[in-house]
Each structure stands twice: as C-alpha cells, then as structure tokens.
Amino acid sequence: MINIKTLPGADCNSDHNLLMSKIKIKSTSKAVNNLKLNLKLLKTNTAIKEQYTVEVKNRFTGLEEIQEVEQRWVKLKDALTQRATETVPTMKTTGKRKWMTEEILELMEKRRLAKPNKVRHKEINKEIKRKCDQAKEKWLNEQCEEIETELYKEPKAMYKRIQEITGRKASSKTGCIKSKDGSIIMEKDKKLERWSEYISELFDDDRNEDLTLQDIPEGPEIMREEVENTIKNMKTGKATGPDMISTEMMQALEDLRIIKNIYWEQKAAVRVEEETSNFQSIKRGVRQGCVLSPDLFSLYSEMIMRQIEEIEGLKIGGHNINNIRYADDTVLTADSEEKLQELLNKLMEESENKGLELNSKKTESMIITRKTSIPKCEIKIRENTIKQANSFKYLGTQITSDGRNHQEIKSRIAQAKASFQQMKSIMTNIKMSIVVRKRILEAFIEPVLLYRCEAWTIDERMKRSLETTEIWFLRRMMRIPWTAKKTNEEVLTEAQTTRQLMTKIRKRQAKFVGQVIRRNQLEHLVTTGKFDGKRGRGRPREKMLDSLVDWMNIGKPSEMIREMSCNVGWRSLIAHASRHGT
C-alpha cells in the first residue's frame, strides 16, 4: 500500500466519499487482446460478403502455379484470414447496461454539474430514474421479440441472449491443475507441459505408421456438388483452430478447392492463458467438429450394432427392439437379466474387435418395474459388476425405475424456479409492466419448465403441481405474500391472465404425437404397440394417449389415431380443444 485518499467530489449518488488507494503489485504478462470479427455479417450483409469474396479471389491469382504444398497452404490461409481482417468489422463491445442510451448519459452529466443546486439535482435524478425504467422495459421487450423468433431458428443465439439478460456467467477458473502424482501446478510453463503430457498419453495408440491398405473398394469420385453441400451445411459460430479459418469464411466463397489428409498425422494442443502447449500427435478418435466425424462414428457403431440385432430384446408390437441410440449414447433393452448380459457380452466382443472399449464406470443398469421393492440386477463388464441405478439422465431427461415422469416433472419445476430466482430483480420489479414480465416468463422460464413435456404422462397429482407452479410465478411477480389470503382466481384476475400452462402442454403433446403417428417409424411403434406377455395385477396406469383422448374429447385412442393421419384436420381439432380448455 503506497497511498490512500478520499475524493469528496465523486458523483456516485451517495453522501459517502469515494476512497482511493494506490498499491504496488508484482507485474504480470499482458494478456493478448484478440479482436473478434463479426463473422455473422458474411451471411447477413451482402455488400461485405461480395467485397470479401472479390478480395479473396484476387489473392488466389497464381495459387495453382506454386508447386510446394506448404507454400500454397500458407498463401491460401493468408488470403482467407487477412482479407477477413480487412473487410469484416470487429464485434462491438457493449457496456454492462445494454439498455443505456445517450440521452440518459447526457442527463447524468447534467446531474453532476447541478450538484450545488439541490432542488435541480433532485429533479434531474428523478428524470434519470424514470428514463432508465423506460429504456430497460423497451430493451427487454425487444429481447423477448428476438427470442420468440430465434427459439426454433437459432437456439444457440437464443440461449446466449438468455444468459445476457439473466447475468449468468461461465464458471470461474481456478488457474491450477494437478500433475501426474496429484500435486498442484500453478506455474504456466509447467501447466503447458502437463497438458502436452496428458494429450500424448490419452491419444496414444500402437499403430503401424507405414499403413498400407489392400483390397480398397473403388467408389465414385467425389463430386464438386458434394463438397459445396458439405461446406454449406457446416455449423457456424464455432471456435477456429490455429489457422484462424472459420466456417463463415469458407461459406462466403463460391468456389473452394482444398484437398488435405485430415486424419493421418493430425495434431492437437491446449491453450492456457493465451499461450499454446506443444503439439502432440492424435493417433485415435475422430476430430471434434469435423464434418466426417459423425459419419465415421456412425459407420463404426452401425457395424457393431448389426452384429447384435438378432439377439432377443424387448418385443413391442411383434418387433424386436434391443437397442436405442442417439449419437454415442446407447441403451440396451431386454426383458430379463440373462438376455441383457448376453447383449452386453456380444457388444463388448464386437467393440473390441473394432478397437473400441466399454467404460464400466460410465455404464449403469436399471430395472423398470411397478414393484415397490426393486429386484437386484448383476450385469458385469469383464468381471466388474456395473452399478444398478434407480434413476439416470438420458439426453437431458430423468429416467426412473418406476417408469413414471414424477421425478422428471419435479426436476423441471425446480430448475424453472431456479431460473426465476436468477431473474428475480426483473420478474418482481413492479415498476415494470406486468405484460412485459409475462412475456419474459414465456420466453425465458417456460422453455426450462416444458423441456420434453411432449412425452410426459401427467396424472392428477402432477397436474396439480404444474398448476401450482404457474400460480407460484404469478404470486411472486405481483409480490403477493401468503398473508394476503388471496385466492388463485384473484391472483389470475390481478395479473390479467388465465390458466394456460396445461393447455400449452397438451397442445405440444398433441402436435408431437400427430407427427409421430404420421411418420410411422420406431416412435409410432413404441407409442401404439403392445408388449408380449400377461398384464400385471391392479389397475392399468394411465397412458399419454388416454389423457389426450380426454382433452380432445374423442371416444377412444384408435379413433384419435385415425384423426391424426390428416395434418390439417388434426390441427383444427387441436385449436378447437385449446379454445375450450382442458
């Protein structure tokens, strides 16, 4: 600590004086300020796209005359990156208060100058508060409108906007990692060495460097249209590699001829505090973000799964279903412990033949039953008994051993309430219009609550929980305490709304089931098919189709399924049921 002093003239709208101190600390290396280009303009701004395309094509002149591959690649990379830096504007940085306007800033300056005149200072201060409330409400309305349009078009942009409004930040970084022996590493150079060591060991493989392929089946040549279509369908908004070439740069060009071996001799490095570790060879696995990665993994997984498709699993509607897959998330299904073990053994055998290995720590078993006491299930992977779970998450959804949706719905309600609490300062601000706050509720909170609601089977108990949650939001938005003794109907009247949550859920379920029935694929079979065997004792559980039949006021499920075959007619029935409520 070198010096401390107060600044009585600081304009911070308080009678306290600002305390300033001068301290001396150890100097650190200055972080590299990498300016981000607004690459989205290459898709939305025609003038910038045309200018960039012309500039790059001019730099391509004489490229084919260069014989050295490395020199040609360097010139190609420079043409793409340098032209982008010159033609594409950088991302504009905005302040913490994105709704702030120039008019408010000018008023703040007037308030600072009017400090000697207390009456004038007070008037300007009230005007600033009023302008801030208006600007914030207008900005929130604009954000809601954009989110409503981006919900299905650009989910990534929508969630980024939600994080901006809620003030959510990425998890903090500790700045330290563990060494191989478990000790903490703080020094930057040692962290880079540790990352290089980790990558080298993780992706090491005993493979023959002089690989020769025999009996290669000849196929058709790669067409130019295939390359163009692949580049066109690549995902945008992704981080660039060391070459700094983004997907948007390639998509902006009309013709791009690059042929490169991308899987053999590939290397990777880790960036730590703006510095990069040594590059290490990647000898196994597929490249993250590469257009070939999904196809390569699908080829491997399909070859393996075809070897087990004849093994008996679950019989639904006369069809054998022994596996459910989404990307690399795989579920094996069977009606007995012995059949499930047989499936797993065959899967392990075929996977090992293809160079893949099952991770026993990430594999769990579950018995789905109506019984209160769940039987034990001992499924083994190489003599290791895997964990038997009562619940687990699959594709973001809670699957439980009782086959119900209760835990999933409760989890969704808890997550929605947590999201509401993160936006409490906005949602409970009575100075803001209730109409705006209801729009924010629909745009930000309800997507969290209603995730996967299309597949919920909602009984009376869960229906009451969802309706209670709907009123819970309104009571807090209106700042109505429980001591006010207001009924739910009075709360709805004061909020100028009606119960809408269950109607929204039923509409989404009806649209989803209609699409499933018309597609006539596996989902149709699971929804309408029947299991082999005898029916258990007791009253049958209510199915989702049964609840939809009641809501749509249709005689029975078979009649409803016939109505679903016509898309136009089914949508008119949904609209009619929505108008008359659940």
Last-in-domain residue among 345, 368, 395? 395
Question: Has residue 273 been placed in a domain?
Answer: no
Inter-residue contact 570 to 564 (CB < 8 Å): yes
Residue 15 lies in a domain: no
Compute the chain's Rg from CA coordinates: 31
Q: How many domains does the chain have?
A: 3
Residue 63 domain-assigned?
no
Q: Does some domain include residue 8?
A: no
Residue 131 domain flag: yes
483 shares a domain with 383:
no
**Among the listed residues 417, 366, 415, the one whose alpha carbon sits nearest the alpha carbon of residue 394:** 366
- Which of 408, 385, 383 has the alpha carbon at shortest distance from 397? 408
Strands 329-332 and 364-365 come out as unpaired
Contacts 24+ apart (CB under 8 A), 203-212: 203/268, 203/280, 203/281, 203/282, 203/283, 203/284, 203/285, 204/283, 204/284, 205/283, 205/284, 207/283, 207/284, 211/264
Same domain, 440 and 548: yes
Asked whether residue 290 is assigned to any structural domain, the reply reads no
**Domain end position, chosen among 395, 418, 433:** 395
The answer to whether residues 441 and 523 belong to one domain is yes
The reply to whether 160 falls in a domain is no
Q: Say whether both 421 and 568 belong to one domain.
A: yes
Are 549 and 435 part of one and the same domain?
Answer: yes
- 433 and 556 belong to one structural domain: yes
Which tokens go with 570?
Answer: 């089914």
Domain boundary among 130, 153, 176: 153
The residue to which tokens 């019989």 are assigned: 315
Beta strands in 105-243 (DSSP E): 177-178, 184-185
Same domain, yes or no: 382 and 472:
no
Q: 429 and 532: one domain?
A: yes
The ranges of the chain with pLDDT < 70 are: 9-14, 26-35, 60-65, 67, 69, 92-97, 147-175, 205-220, 222, 237, 239, 241-243, 253-267, 272-275, 280-293, 581-582
- Same domain for 445 and 485, yes or no, is yes
Residues spanned by the domain of 508: 406-579
Q: Tell me, yes or no, whether 315 and 442 share the same domain.
A: no
User: Is 231 in contact with 254 (CB distance < 8 Å)?
Assistant: no
Q: Is residue 338 part of a domain?
A: yes
To the nearest 10°, report the CA torsion of 388, 394, 397, 399: -30
In 3D space, the residue among 259, 366, 320 whose CA is nearest the CA of residue 529 turns out to be: 320
Alpha-carbon distance of 285 to 293, in angstroms, equals 9
Same domain, 432 and 560: yes
Helices 567-579 and 557-564 pack at an angle, to 10 degrees, of: 120
**Per-residue pLDDT tens digits for 343-395:** 999 999 988 887 788 888 888 999 988 888 888 989 998 888 899 999 888 88
pTM: 0.64
- Say whether both 457 and 569 belong to one domain: yes
